[in-house]
Chains A and B, each alone.
Chain A
Amino acid sequence: MPEMAVKLLKGPVSVAFSKRGRFHYATALEFDLVGIGSSRDKALSELQDVVNTYLTEAVSSDDPVRLEFPSPREDWLSEDRLSFVVTVLLVGVSGHSSPVIDGIDELRKRRDSVRMFSLLPLAPALGGTLGQSRWAH
């Protein structure tokens, strides 16, 4: 079985939640990506899939991609917000190497190893370690 490792990508992601009509919306504010669902959890689950597709495409791209695209100001004003970290599952990479990946360009160099991106709720103690947004390529 190939060696696998889960790494953190530097830079937290803020997710704002809202409800319009029957639907819940979860917006990843650094990327302006949205998940929609009949419940808050389903909206977040869809957002996870959308972010995974977005970052997978960006890593697969031959050209550098402008990843960071902040949502409009009104979305950032939401009081219902949570912070997440982005993790990436890599195969064929030692788990003993650095636990944090500095940027998407580093991942593009080992794109064949990338399997999946996920959003994980950010433990407050990690906030200082991960620093400010680092999503500009």
Chain B
Amino acid sequence: MASPVGLTDFIRKFRHFGVDVKVKGSHILMRKTVDRASVLYVAAVHGKKVDPVYVAKARRRFKLLPADGVSDAEFDSA
């Protein structure tokens, strides 16, 4: 099972791939235009950590998976 990701790392990785990320209270608001449509995602923060389920689902939402051309290594090193 993957480990939680630090909030700062989480924000940096998604911003690197053009996702607009804002923290509002205990929620992370994410937005990007994908395939000419505005796409949103909301993740929850727990003690400055982000559960890996949110990383996986946000990568899927914003087309940042290996199937979309972004390898795990490329995402992890961002």
- List B1-54 residues whose CB lies under 8 Å from chain A: 1, 24, 26-27, 29, 31, 34, 37-44, 46, 51, 53-54
Q: Find out whether the CB atom of A63 lies under 8 angstroms from the CB atom of B46.
A: no
A87 to B75, CA, bound (A): 37
Q: Find out whether the CB atom of B54 lies under 8 angstroms from the CB atom of A53.
A: no
B22 — nearest CB in chain A belongs to which residue? A57
Q: Find out whether the CB atom of B57 lies under 8 angstroms from the CB atom of A53.
A: no
Q: Find out whether the CB atom of B53 lies under 8 angstroms from the CB atom of A25.
A: yes
- The DSSP consensus for interface residues of chain B is strand
Q: Find out whether the CB atom of B53 lies under 8 angstroms from the CB atom of A34.
A: yes
- List A28-63 residues whose CB lies under 8 Å from chain B: 32-36, 46, 49-50, 53-54, 57-58, 61, 63
Residue among B31, B34, B44 with max Cβ neighbours from chain A (10 Å) = B44
- The DSSP consensus for interface residues of chain A is mixed
| Given contact pairs A35-B44, A36-B44, A50 touches B37 in the complex (Cβ within 8 A) | no
How many whole Å from A38's CB to the nearest CB in chain B?
10
Q: Find out whether the CB atom of A53 lies under 8 angstroms from the CB atom of B38.
A: no
Q: Find out whether the CB atom of A64 lies under 8 angstroms from the CB atom of B24.
A: no
Q: How big is chain A's contact interface, by range?
A: 20 to 34
Q: Find out whether the CB atom of B42 lies under 8 angstroms from the CB atom of A33.
A: yes
Q: Find out whether the CB atom of B44 lies under 8 angstroms from the CB atom of A46.
A: yes
A51 — nearest CB in chain B belongs to which residue? B42
| Given contact pairs A25-B53, A57-B29, A64 touches B37 in the complex (Cβ within 8 A) | yes
8 residue pairs, one from A and one from B, having the closest CB atoms: A66-B37, A63-B38, A54-B42, A65-B38, A53-B42, A53-B27, A50-B42, A66-B39
9 pairs, CB–CB < 8 Å, chain A vs chain B: A23-B51, A34-B43, A36-B46, A36-B51, A63-B38, A64-B37, A66-B34, A69-B61, A72-B60
Apart from A34-B54, A63-B38, A66-B34, list 11 A-B contacts with CB within 8 A. A21-B1, A33-B41, A34-B43, A34-B44, A36-B51, A50-B27, A54-B41, A57-B31, A58-B40, A67-B40, A69-B61
